[in-house]
Amino acid sequence: MKTFVKIMAAATLALMGGAALAAPLPLPPGYPTLLGVSCGGVHLSSFVTGFDSNGNITGEVYAWTNCGGSGKGGGYHTTTYQSWHSITWTLSKTYTVNNYDTVAPEPLFTATDQYGNFISNVCSGTTNGQPACLADAVIVYVPPPPGGFSYIVPNEFGKTQAQAVADVKAVGLTPYVTYYTYGAAIYPPGTVFNESPSAATQLTAGAQVHLYVFRLAD
């Protein structure tokens, strides 16, 4: 099996007995960010609705509050203020809140992306006629940055050309061999005496690694 080194941000939330545990996704402040009014507190429910093309978690947030008081002519009157907003969570647990995109959330929704990140709605009862839910996730890996994961240039100094070529290919990079011919045996013939970029450099997948190989003059 080919081995390769991926530099990636692992956002493991918690581990217990070898299994990752779900954790709630952060909620924006209910007042004034979402509702603009608060009468004894703003109630929030959050829902996940899927993953977008960038690997971020999409969802919806429902906020509401009840305000009461005596109206003209007497009697006690209540007014309910409510709003829906769309929300996008990154797998590093930051978020942005946007105007509602009219996507009706499904309280029983669950999904798993290609990296094993799992999202779900945990619901219990209702609030103001809507399901009382809390979006949660098990985050295993953060998606790679634009351009892909970084691949590490291996140290091939002193290795044979065949071994160095094989090593570079094994880590997901492309070898490019250049020969240098000398009359005296400075290095063992057929061995790598330099490489560019240097060992431990991070490159994107498939990038070229120049291998400089010594050989004796005829």
Tell me the pLDDT tens digit for each residue of 13-36: 333 234 568 899 999 999 988 999
The stretch 70-98 carries a mean pLDDT of 85
Encoded tokens for 29: 């402040």
Tokens 């109206």 belong to 71
What pTM, to 2 d.p., does this model score? 0.58
Q: What does the alpha-carbon distance between residue 89 and residue 97 come to, in Å, rounded to a whole number?
A: 9
Q: Residue 170 belongs to what H/E stretch?
A: helix 161-170
C-beta of residue 153 within 8 angstroms of C-beta of residue 209: yes
Q: For residue 216, what pLDDT is reported? A: 85
The predicted-structure confidence for 198-209, as pLDDT tens digits, reads as follows 998 888 778 899
Q: What residues does each domain of the chain span?
A: 15-138, 150-216
Tokens 């010594």 belong to 214
The stretch 43-49 carries a mean pLDDT of 96
Class of domain 150-216: alpha beta
pLDDT at 37 over 60: yes
Q: Rounded to the nearest 5°, which phi and psi values hold at 217? A: -70, 150
Longest dimension (CA), the chain: 111
pLDDT at 3 over 60: no
Strands 118-127 vs 130-138: parallel, antiparallel or unpaired: antiparallel
Q: What does the alpha-carbon distance between residue 127 and residue 62 come to, in Å, rounded to a whole number?
A: 10
The predicted-structure confidence for 119-155, as pLDDT tens digits, reads as follows 999 999 898 999 999 999 999 887 666 666 678 899 9
